[in-house]
Structure 1
Amino acid sequence: MSAAALPRRARHDAGFTLAEMLVALALFGMISALIAGVVNLIARLDGSAQRQSTALEQVVSVQTVLRARLEQMRTQVDPRGLGDTIALVGYPEELTFTAPGFAADGAHQLQALRLRRTPRGELVLYTVPLLAGRDLGASSVDGWNAAPLLDGVERLDIAYYGTDRITGRDAWQSRWQARAQPPKLVRIRLAFAKGDARPWPVLMVRPLSGVRLGCQGGRKTFDCAETP
């Protein structure tokens, strides 16, 4: 090997051929694409988890509000002046009752509350001060304050557990009307639109903590008990 050939071979060994550079660039591009894909996947998973967490928090908040209102339910004197009381007016897709107002309205101010699903698929809680003299049995909510709770609600199903007037036995009923006593349990089921992954655990509430009210004016009827 001549001395003149050594510098040329050394220079050749220290460099890269065009093919080697192209292969290196291709590998670098592939690795970069893989890293970008992993980062994108992590971001999507994180965003999905965040959305699910937010949706769950929303459902929990709504159930907490409804539970608190129903547990503090109060009876209302019959507006027809018959001296009787009305516990609540319940239908499969609507529930109306009275309870202490929210903190902003004062702890002892009674309100009429109505839970209803609108034709647009919104779960709405309507409220109005009880002093406004609203008839709980009237279907109109004109003049009531509307507080949307959830959207995308496809179905609302409310049931009432208590004494059946015909059989005299406790059973689930689809309606609760003209009763001086609240049902022993109120069950609220809700279904979201197809493709909506939000959960809705069945909400089971015991109004008034199961307290049985006394009769008005000392009278004893089917719906009330003698005052202890």
Structure 2
Amino acid sequence: MAPRKARPRPPNDFIPLAEKNGLIVSIGEWVLRRACREAAAWFAPLKIAVNLSPVQFQHGDLVNLVHSILLETGLAPARLEFEITEGVLINDPQRTLSILRRLKSLGVKIAMDDFGTGYASLSSLRSFPFDKIKIDRSFIVDVATSDQAAAIVRAVIGLGSALGVPVIAEGVETEAQRSFLAREGCVEVQGYLVGWPASIETFSDLTAKANAGLVRGPARREIIEIPRRSERKR
């Protein structure tokens, strides 16, 4: 009897369990090594973003692991971006901030993910010089129809501008949302409107075509913004 083919599961289904039993540490190392190796082989020198779990900051030597993987794969540090939520800073904030500073000293970028969903987002921005702010999709979904949502997103974009930190909007699914963000000066977006999750083979092929000039204009921009995130980050 042939084995049943496993159905892909979104990260929200298995990451909490992996964090609870500690498997997220080995999974995270595998993901980081694979992501860096793939990115190093791309024709275009695009950045790649990898999520870090709070658990990874509590176990092992994260900085030396990142350093060794960068050396092993040959990926330029400036092309690697780590995305963290403010939950990373809640447990043992001093140790975590020290690790983040050491990571930045390697040359990698650090982004604040899911901005606005926790209790200490502003405090987190004051504690550490993040390289990017990512507005959570819960604020984007109603931005074109709700004055309140629009005001919040406008304020975050203004905050990023005042701090000199780029802002990216998550979960952009409609032209109305993208138009609003463009008017407000948010030029980076992520979501199903600009691309669906794709296999690494598909992504590599698209970046190769874009680099060769076979795809131009808006379509080229959308190609290099294809998200590789969970369904929650649509």
Quick check: TM above 0.5? no
Looking at secondary structure, tell me which structure has more strand per residue.
Answer: 1
Relative to the length of structure 2, the TM-score reads 0.21
Relative to the length of structure 1, the TM-score reads 0.21
Q: Which has the larger radius of gyration?
A: 1
Looking at secondary structure, tell me which structure has more helix per residue.
Answer: 2
